[in-house]
Amino acid sequence: MDTTQLLKGVLDVAVLAVVEDEDGYGYDVLRRLRAGGLAEVGDASVYGTLRRLYAAGALTSYVVPSDEGPHRKYYGITPTGRAQLTTQTKDWETFAETVTALLSDTHAVTQQAQPEGARS
Amino acid sequence: MTMTTPGTTDLHPETTAFLATVRAHLSDLPEEERDELLDGLEADLSEQLAEGGTLPDPDGYAAELRAAAGLPAGPAARAPRRRKPIKGQLVGAPDVLRARWLELTRHNDLTRTGWSLLETLRPAWWVLRAWVAVTLVDVMSGGYENVTLVPSLGAALVGPAVLVVAIVVSTLIGLGRLWPGSGPDRTPLARLVLAGLNVFAVLVPFSFHYAGSQPEIYRPTYARAVAVDTGPPVLRLGRDVIRNVYAYDAAGQPLQGVQLYDQKGRAIAVAPQSSMGRGAQREVTCPWFNGTTPLFNVFPLPQRSQRYGTCLGHPDPAKVGPQAFQEPPLASLPPATLPAEPTG
């Protein structure tokens, strides 16, 4: 299955989740997502998502100057972002349960149906 | 700008190029939005490289960035010709260069002001390149003539008329009304052609040969032109360079002020940089004048001792000798006659 398609749907909530406890800059967020198991997540997707969440008011951003190089842009979660995270987490759980149930039911049905098909 | 601040010059060059390409892909966005989107990316990319990672394909990266940020597909993504990567790179190259250049000019206030000043001077460049084009034609069509403010082109009024037309055409091109036009929204061929022509127009004047001037005699706007690839015209007799010419009349007496022309009406002139001897013995030839135009085809040419440079250069008056005619190599010659016409 093409997991990149699935990833698109959950990237918002995943990004919100990894900055919930600690602010992070772009590459940092990417690392946390990959460390969390989303190995295939594209860096541009993460940056774009950060930007979109920021534009929507779910994230704040601030710049931290660096002595030895270009400055870093950190993102932190806002109350709006927390609310969105809570809602979307619930949505995801419901959705995941539904799909899991659906898949296992269908699996069971198919298994039951197969002997009948073999008989006829 | 926020992207590049002073003191960040230790960037990987590939990071800079990568950013420029991505930036070019976002060129349709308002500047503020673009900066917002790319802000901090530099640091992240540097870190990624430092950890041994590699930079992704900038075209795909930009497309992914746009999609994830909820922006419409970019101008480059909409163009179907970007499918071939090599061609795509060529097509994008002017944008990348442009983006990188603009990035550089934003480096600080001084470069920003300087660049905006230069941009306002674009019309002056349009006029200048028209002049260069007409002058080039002038120089190439004539044998050995002066580079003048208004090219002569051989006949009265032709030069000024052609120059006016050339300025109008050049300006129309600059305004984007005539092919190959100006600005980013053009075919790669048109951009390449214009860039080539502009570079040519910048380089060509270096092939014009400019002599110096003598301020006490005339204004320093005068110059003398020859095409560099043929070398400065030099009079030769066999392998010897002729540096002065002495004419005698039929009676064998030396003449002064003889103007020489060949069978096509071209001036037979010695090179303005003609000189004889070395060190303290060095002598340069000085021209005759028609108004302010120096003539090196009127003989004999006066000479003067001068250690460096040419007679028309800017020599230190204290270091040059008086200008004078040298004694002719031969005081007089036997008289010459034509054979008597056979009568009958």
- Structure confidence by residue, pLDDT tens digits, B71-119: 877 665 444 444 445 655 666 677 778 777 877 877 778 888 888 888 8
The closest CB to that of A48, out of B8, B45, B69, belongs to: B69
Q: Does B42 touch chain A (CB under 8 A)?
A: yes
- For residue B109, give how far its alpha carbon lies from the nearest alpha carbon of chain A (Å): 19
Q: Cβ B41–A11 below 8 Å, yes or no?
A: no
Give A78-102 pLDDT, tens digit per residue.
Answer: 999 999 999 999 999 999 899 888 8
Backbone angles phi, psi at B311, to 5 degrees: -60, -35
Report residue B318's pLDDT band, with 50, 70 and 90 as the boundaries: confident
Name chain A contacts of B5, Cβ cutoff 8 Å: 70-71
Task: Find the helix or strand (DSSP H, E) in which B171 lies.
Answer: helix B158-174
pLDDT score, position B292 = 85
Mean pLDDT, residues B210-229: 43
Nearest CA to B262 out of B297, B305, B216, B215 is that of B297
How many Å apart are CA B209 and CA A110, to the nearest integer?
Answer: 91
Q: Does the beta carbon of A46 lie under 8 angstroms from any beta carbon of chain B? A: yes
A51 to B66: CB separation less than 8 angstroms, yes or no: no
User: Which ipTM score applies to this complex?
Assistant: 0.75
Report the distance separating Cα B93 and Cα B73, nearest Å. Answer: 20
B10–A48 C-beta distance less than 8 A: no
Q: Measured between beta carbons, which residues in chain A are less than 8 angstroms from residue B8?
A: 69-70
Phi, psi values for residue A59, rounded to 5° = -130, 150
Taking every pair of Cα atoms in chain A, the longest distance, rounded to a whole number of angstroms, is: 77
A72, two tokens: 């870093």
**pLDDT above 70 for A108:** no
Residue B343, burial from CB neighbour count under 10 angstroms (0-12, 13-18, 19+):
exposed
On whether any CB of chain B is under 8 Å from the CB of A47, the answer is yes
* Beta carbon pairs, A and B, within 8 Å: 88
Residue A113's pLDDT band, with cuts at 50, 70 and 90, is: low
Closest to A53 in 3D by CA, of A41, A43, A61, A65: A61
Decide if A81 contacts A16 (C-beta within 8 A): yes
Question: What would the pLDDT profile of A27-45 be if each residue is shown by its tens digit?
Answer: 889 989 988 888 888 888 8
> Is A27's Cβ below 8 Å from some Cβ in B?
yes
Residue B98: partners with Cβ closer than 8 Å, 6 or more residues away: B24, B184
What single-letter DSSP state applies at residue B267?
B
* A31 and B CB contact within 8 Å: no
Sole residue written with tokens 């976002």: B26
pTM of the model: 0.40
User: Which is more confident, B95 or B125?
Assistant: B125
| pLDDT tens digits along B140-170 | 775 555 677 777 776 778 888 888 999 999 8
> pLDDT band at B225, cuts 50/70/90?
very low
CB of B64 less than 8 A from some CB of A: yes
| Whether A45 contacts chain B with CB within 8 A | yes
Task: For B260-294, give one letter per residue: b (16+ CB within 10 A) or e.
Answer: beeeeeebbbbbbbbbeeeeeebbbbbbbeeeeeb
